[in-house]
Amino acid sequence: NTHTHIDTIYELEKAGLLNKTKIAEGGRKLRKNWNPSWVVLVGNSLVFFKDPKSQTPSSWKPGNSCPESSVDLRGAQLQWANNLSSKKNVFKLRTVTGNEFLLQSETDSLIREWFNTIQSVIDRLVSL
């Protein structure tokens, strides 16, 4: 089965649609700009795709489709951040380089899953 094969090669942890805004770049505050983003957690990285057409398993293969950006999760910090937005279910991801993102979903269970899965990858990287 192709999916299983690809999952194995690229260590795909999770993929799905979340609302995303970057709020800081290198420690400098940015103006919020919320947009839906196709988020893929693969290996040590969180990869963001702008294009909803990117929602096919083949599109995040290297060389295929173009990620909008990607985040190295090594040393990253995750925290719930409902104080940083009027939206519900918001968490903040901060990279070692001082880039900060807010990620959000209307679905409680979904955002908890994302939080827990990203946190487990961060924890795993600490012990490597």
Rounded to whole angstroms, the Cα distance separating 1 from 18 reads: 27
Q: What tokens does 1 get?
A: 């089965």
Through-space distance between the first and last CA atoms of the chain, rounded to whole angstroms: 30
**H or E stretch including 20?**
strand 12-25
Exactly one of 9, 26, 34, 98 binds ligand I3S (CB under 6 A); which one? 34
Q: Which of 22/40 has CB closer to ligand I3S?
A: 22
Q: What share of the chain is helix, strand, coil (3-state, %, to 5)?
A: 30, 35, 35
Point out which span in 39-47, 73-81, 82-90, 109-117 binds ligand I3S (CB under 6 A): 82-90
In the list 14, 50, 87, 112, the residue contacting ligand I3S (rule: CB under 6 A) is 87
Assess 86 for contact with ligand I3S (CB under 6 A).
yes
The alpha-carbon radius of gyration of the chain (Å, integer) is 14
State in angstroms the smallest separation of the CB of 21 from ligand I3S.
7
The sign of the CA dihedral 33, 87, 37, 91 is positive
Q: Does 32 bind ligand I3S (CB under 6 A)?
A: yes
What's the min distance (Å) between Cβ of 120 and ligand I3S?
Answer: 26
Q: Is 112 in the site for ligand I3S (CB under 6 A)?
A: no
In the complex, the residues that contact ligand I3S under the rule CB under 6 A are 32, 34, 85-87
